[in-house]
Homo-oligomer: A and B are copies of this chain.
Amino acid sequence: MPEIPATMRQLRSLVAPEGELRLSLATVDTPLPREREVLVRVEAAPVNPSDLGLLLAMADVSQAVVGGSPEAPTVTAPIAEPVMRALAARVGDAMPVGNEGAGVVVAAGESREAQPLLGRTVGFLGGATYGEYCLASPRMCLPLPEGASAVDGASSFVNPLTALGMVETMRREGHTGLVHTAAASNLGQMLNRICLADGVPLVNIVRRPEQATLLREQGAEHVCDSSESTFEADLVAALRDTGATLAFDAVGGGRLAGQVLNAMEAAIVADDAPYSRYGSDVHKQVYVYGSLDPRPIELRRRFGFAWGVGGWLLMPFLARTSPEDLARMRQRVADELSSTFASHYSDEISLREALDVETLQRCARQATGEKFLLRPQR
């Protein structure tokens, strides 16, 4: 084992009371694992959409400014007044960032869960993976298979378990097909591969023709492009074909969730069905798991009374999942790490480079095909 330094660098995100985001590289004591913990030397950590909310705090990064010193660089950006009210509880806390990553376990607590991981390369869920070292719970570590690198395993939790969780949720709640919005994302491509492998009918909703092409090239059968004038009719046709009555929506604002429910209802009710002012009795569900669109959700009800819209998050889903089911899902991720669950990154950046204004602006755009991998040891 290499020696563990007493201090380490860690990215921090602070919301200052005057309405300003301050990102910095802090030098902090390297933590020591307690009995049921391990310490991971972080080699790679992805910048997921789920990280950006905490990292960027909805600041206006188009106005970001570099500051500090070459040794201790900072970036600041203004935060609008209404946003500040929603962030009241985090004002003044310089928060660590980063939900997942991968690296080598360099220290382990005395427990029998922790000890076997010593020396292994693991993917893991952390909460502070944007730093040189990070503590983790053995339950939230996935030992990588022989030959897999930390880069291969950096995204082995959030997207793989979210995509598998969508299919699990579909089965648990009695649906037989899925709809996915923002379907050309890394997560969406993963879900498409899972559904193709498992024979689950999937309707992919994208926002641009090139995204539709990308998914079709990956074998997707049903792709509906919301920029097309035929979108609503295309969606109804795809829903008739697939019988999908459960959607996972990353957009979470505007009319899309309601459009999906209305299209599901239109697909369910036959043209010659007798009138019912209560709509069909087939339950139609949309789970919102993201917030790409910050506007209110607007539901124009033409979908009867058998419907639900609700929030969905990975961690509560995992908490509702039996240890056996979780083990099965994790094993599948390990087995298919370089195929079904492979992630692609457009850029690798160091901790210092994460505090580059242009990089932050590109992160904030969340453009399809752009995905950053942080390499904290560089």
Q: CB distance A299 to B296 under 8 Å?
A: yes
How often does this chain occur in the complex, in copies?
Answer: 2
Q: Out of B273, B275, B309, B311, which one reaches A310, CB within 8 Å?
A: B309
The answer to whether A258 and B296 touch (CB under 8 A), given A95-B275, A275-B93, is yes
**A residues 259-308 touching B (CB-CB < 8 Å):** 269, 273-278, 281, 288-289, 291, 296-302, 304-308
Smallest CB–CB gap between A299 and chain B, Å?
A: 4
A313 interface residue (CB < 8 Å to B): yes
A87 at the B interface (CB under 8 A): yes
Q: Is the CB of A313 within 8 A of B305?
A: yes
Which chain B residue shows the least CB distance to A291? B301
Is residue A312 contacting chain B, with contact meaning CB distance below 8 A?
yes
Compute how far the CA of A122 lies from the CA of B310 in the bound complex, rounded to whole angstroms.
Answer: 40
State how many angstroms separate the Cβ of A114 from the closest Cβ of chain B. Answer: 26
**Among B296, B306, B311, contact of A305 (Cβ-Cβ < 8 Å):** B311
CB of A252 within 8 A of chain B? yes
Q: How far is the CA of A277 from the CA of B58 in the complex (A)?
A: 11
A→B interface (CB under 8 Å): 53-54, 86-87, 89-90, 93, 95, 252-253, 258, 269, 273-278, 281, 288-289, 291, 296-302, 304-313, 315-316
A-B contact pairs, 11 of them (CB 8 A): A86-B302, A89-B269, A93-B275, A258-B296, A278-B315, A288-B305, A297-B299, A299-B309, A306-B313, A307-B310, A307-B311
